[in-house]
Amino acid sequence: MNIRFYHARILTMDGGCVLQEGELWTSGNRIAYIGPGKDAKDIVWDEQIDCQGNVLMPGFKNAHTHSGMTAMRSFADDMPLQEWLNTKIFPLEAKMTEQDNYDLTKLAILEYLTTGVTGIFDMYLSPKDIARACVEMGMRCVLVSGLNKFGPSVAEMENRYNSLNGMHPLITYRMGVHAEYTCDKALLEEVSALIHKYRAPLFAHLSETRLETDECLERYGMTPPQFFDSLGLFDFGGGGYHCVYFTEADMDLFARKGLHAVTNPGSNTKLASGVAPIGRFLEKGINVAIGTDGPSSNNCLDMFREMFLVTGLAKLLQKDASAVDAHEVLKMATVNGARAMGLSEADVLAEGKLADLIMIDLHQPNMQPLNNITKNIVYSGSKQNVKLTMIDGKILYRDGQFLNGVDAEAIYAKANEIIARLSA
């Protein structure tokens, strides 16, 4: 497929938030050209798209999610994290089949497409089924193990690491554990041995709540990041999800080791977990990415909501309206996410990079006037402005319609059927 986008404002995110006017061409799954209009008479176009001055930019990277939790959206709200997990979520998950996970992931993928997400960092049950849904629907996915004392075994994680990496160009798999509070020390030591065998980075939920941090301090005399580091779990990089209750020493560790902090403000807000010190992370030079967390804690998978919350909560926390500028947030939602996820070919718009991109509709009242388009995206943008989502050179969503043969109503029906069965 050769696709020509013309009359575009292009935000490459390559070195800042600067827009250039011109064209972007894709060939197969790659970006073939970015620049002013030029002669293309040798090229047979499959489609030529008049962007009408709209913005082309890298797709958002949702750097922490649990896609298959769509079944539990608005199933149990208004409860704190531990109670919510133990009394509502874990009992349902115990009944969830691999096929359920596949079907529920498909529902999440639809939502990602509507909000311009072109890559997800997904920690959930049966990763082969997440991969199956993503490949079928065309979503780029970095799977990450959510290993804990209930499963999978370390041997199984190793097996998945070897079988899922390389299974399909859209899929990679990373080692990870759910969290300190769901693993005992011996298990984490086993994981560390595997990490060292493969020289692999490791990701985990880290310091999400005050309770988690306090209990870890009590158990080991160390915060979760320090404890993980003491076991060598971060010897080859990686990072943490949530990262709310980080001490200065935790941040210094992240900075020193080049670890990635993925912030999840929607979930941390709705569960009353707290506000991550994002301004401090930036001051320390830590790579901060953004994730929605799962759809039953958030409850939506909307990168625009997350972007506003990242900057808004930082402004409130620091009592400073200039804290965490919109442009930093746009980097977090795109290039920083790609960096955390190891998607070095899907980070910015440039010739030779993977064609994972979105079109932002400026012809809507919330984006007018055009005083500052990039600030508009963060401060007044909405998923309704996502006019087109392309992953790996394929247009999967456009003008509110799912393409690629997707039957959205069938996916909705299946999700309703699953939650009815699981909660019966």
Applying the rule CB under 8 A, the residues between 231 and 270 that interact with a copy of itself are 266, 269-270
Phi-psi region of 334 (alpha: psi -120 to 50; beta: other; left: phi over 0): alpha
Q: What's the min distance (Å) between Cβ of 330 and a copy of itself?
A: 13
Binding flag, residue 289, a copy of itself (CB under 8 A): no
Nearer to a copy of itself, 65 or 311 (CB): 311
When asked if residue 215 is in the footprint of a copy of itself (CB under 8 A), the reply is: no
Would you say 174 or 327 has its CB closer to a copy of itself? 327
Alpha-carbon gap, residue 270 to 311, rounded angstroms: 16
Min CB(312)–a copy of itself separation in Å: 4
If one asks whether residue 1 binds a copy of itself (CB under 8 A), the answer comes out as: no
Give the integer Cα–Cα distance in Å for 206 and 90. Answer: 19
Q: Give one word for 197, left, alpha or beta, with left for phi > 0 and alpha for psi -120 to 50.
A: alpha
Q: Please, is 261 exposed, middle or buried when counting C-beta atoms within 10 Å of its C-beta (0-12, 13-18, 19+)?
A: buried
Query: In this structure, are residues 267 and 295 in contact, taking their beta carbons and an 8 Å threshold?
Result: no
Binding flag, residue 410, a copy of itself (CB under 8 A):
no
Residue 351: CB atoms within 10 Å: 12
If the CB atoms of residues 233 and 309 are measured against a copy of itself, the closer one turns out to be 309
Is 16 a binding residue for a copy of itself by CB under 8 A? The answer is no
Q: What distance, in Å, lies between the first and last C-alpha atoms of the chain?
A: 47
Which of helix, strand or coil describes residue 121? strand
Q: In the numeric block, which tokens belong to residue 58?
A: 């890298």
Q: Which residue's CB is nearer to a copy of itself, number 186 or number 424?
A: 424
369 binds a copy of itself (CB under 8 A): yes
Interface region with a copy of itself, contact rule CB under 8 A, candidates 31-39, 59-67, 320-328, 346-354? 320-328
Nearer to a copy of itself, 6 or 75 (CB): 75
List the interface residues with a copy of itself, window 299-318 (CB under 8 A).
299-302, 305, 308-309, 311-313, 315-316, 318
Contact call for residue 364 and a copy of itself (CB under 8 A): yes
User: Binder to a copy of itself among 48, 99, 344, 416 (CB under 8 A)?
Assistant: 416
Return the SS3 of 401. strand
Q: Which is nearer to a copy of itself, 79 or 403 (CB)?
A: 79
CA atoms within 13 A of residue 383's CA, in its CB half-sphere: 17
Query: Residues with Cβ < 8 Å from 80, sequence gap 6 or more?
Result: 271, 272
Residue 230: how many CA atoms within 13 Å on its side-chain side? 12
Q: How far is the CB of 293 from a copy of itself (least distance, A)?
A: 12
Out of 178, 325, 342, 394, point to the residue binding a copy of itself (CB under 8 A): 325
Q: Does 372 bind a copy of itself (CB under 8 A)?
A: yes
Helix axes 154-164, 127-137, angle to 10 degrees: 20
160 binds a copy of itself (CB under 8 A): no
Please choose, from the candidates 178, 249, 241, the residue with its C-alpha nearest in 3D space to the C-alpha of residue 207.
Answer: 241
Which residue lies nearer to a copy of itself by CB, 199 or 319?
A: 319
Convert residues 96-135 into a mask of x (bound to a copy of itself by CB under 8 A) and - (unbound). -----------xx-xx--x---------------------
Size of the site for a copy of itself (CB under 8 A): 73
Cβ-based nearer residue to a copy of itself, 39 or 409: 409
